[in-house]
C-alpha cells in the first residue's frame, strides 16, 4: 500500500500539501494527522485517494506510540512524509507563558524528529520527506525567539538527515518560506510586538516551489527572489547586524 503521510493536515500548509500531493501523484491512501477530526474527514471531498483520518495530538508523546503501532499493523510503503504540524508565538521571551513556548519546541522540533524516525523504516528509494521550516530557520529572530530556534533545528536536522539517507535513495528537504497567508497568524499574534510584514505568499505557491525543488534535489526550498537574497545576505553579514536590522524593522 503506497501512502503519503501529512501532519498538520487540518489547516494551512498541511492541508494544501494534501491537495497538491493528491493532485500530482497516485496514492492508495493519504494518512492525514491532526487534532481536529471533522476537518480531517472533510478532506475526502476534495481528494481522489482514500483519506485515512488519524486524530493525534503530536505534542503528546503517547501519540508516537499510536502512530508506530499503526505502521506495524498496516506495513505501508511511505512514498511521502510531510511534517507540517507546528505553531509559533510573537512576543518577548519573558513575557510569554513558559509551557506554551515549550509546546512550540515539542511540536515543531520533537514531533517532527519522531515522525521521521518512525517513518523512514517504511520508506524505499525515491521516497521523500518535506519538513516545514521558515525564513526564521536562517537567523536568530528576537521576539519570535523560540519559534525561530525551533525552525533552525528543522533546517539543520533536515539537511543532515538527507546526507545520512542519500545511499538509501530517500530525499529530505526543508521548506523555508517567508510570511504565508494561513491560520498561523491567528495563533501567533496576540499583541503588536511584531508589526512589520514585508510581503505575503499564498501556500499554494510555496508548495509548488517545494515540489519543483525536491525534483531538483535541493535540500532547502525558499520561495521568492527577495527571500533568496535575504538568505544569501544573512549568511555573510554579522549576526548582531542582522538582529538589529530585524528589530529596527519592528520598531524595537
Please identify every residue annotated as catalytic: 147
3-state secondary structure 80-141: EEEECCCCCCCCCHHHCCHHHHHHHHHHHHHHHHHHHHHHHHHCCCCCEEEEECCHHHHCCC
Cell 503519503 found at: 4
Neighbours of 217 (CB within 10 A): 10
User: Which positions ≥6 away from 170 have C-beta within 8 Å?
Assistant: 120, 123, 124, 125, 126, 127, 128, 129
d(CA 170, CA 123): 7
Q: Which of 188, 155, 144, 13 lies closest to 85, judged by CA?
A: 13
CA 81 to chain centroid: 11
Nearest to 192, CA basis, from 150, 145, 143, 140: 143
Distance CA 41, CA 49 (A): 13
Amino acid at each position: 500500500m503506497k501512502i503519503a503521510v501529512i501532519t498538520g493536515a487540518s489547516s494551512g500548509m498541511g492541508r494544501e500539501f494534501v491537495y497538491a500531493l493528491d493532485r500530482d501523484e497516485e496514492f492508495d491512501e493519504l494518512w492525514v494527522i491532526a487534532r481536529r477530526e471533522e476537518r480531517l474527514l472533510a478532506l475526502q471531498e476534495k481528494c481522489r485517494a482514500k483519506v485515512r483520518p488519524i486524530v493525534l495530538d503530536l505534542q503528546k508523546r503517547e501519540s508516537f506510540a499510536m502512530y508506530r503501532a499503526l505502521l506495524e499493523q498496516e506495513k505501508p510503503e511511505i512514498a511521502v512524509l510531510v511534517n507540517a504540524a507546528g505553531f509559533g508565538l510573537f512576543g518577548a521571551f519573558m513575557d510569554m507563558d513558559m509551557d506554551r513556548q515549550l509546546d512550540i519546541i515539542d511540536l515543531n522540533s520533537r514531533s517532527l524528529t519522531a515522525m521521521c524516525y518512525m517513518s523512514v523504516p517504511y520508506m524505499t528509494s525515491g521516497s521523500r520527506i518535506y519538513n516545514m521550516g521558515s525564513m526564521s530557520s536562517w537567523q536568530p529572530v528576537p521576539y519570535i525567539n523560540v519559534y525561530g530556534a525551533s525552525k533552525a533545528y528543522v533546517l539543520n536536522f533536515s539537511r543532515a538527515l538527507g546526507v545520512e539517507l542519500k545511499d538509501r535513495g530517500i530525499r529530505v528537504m526543508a521548506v523555508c518560506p517567508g510570511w504565508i497567508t494561513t491560520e498561523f497568524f491567528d495563533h501567533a499574534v496576540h499583541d503588536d510586538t511584531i508589526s512589520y510584514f514585508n510581503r505575503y505568499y499564498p501556500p499554494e505557491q510555496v508548495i509548488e516551489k517545494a515540489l519543483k525543488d525536491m525534483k531538483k534535489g535541493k535540500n532547502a526550498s525558499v520561495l521568492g527572489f527577495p527571500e533568496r537574497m535575504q538568505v544569501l545576505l544573512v549568511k555573510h553579514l554579522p549576526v548582531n547586524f542582522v538582529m538589529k536590522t530585524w528589530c529596527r524593522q519592528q520598531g524595537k
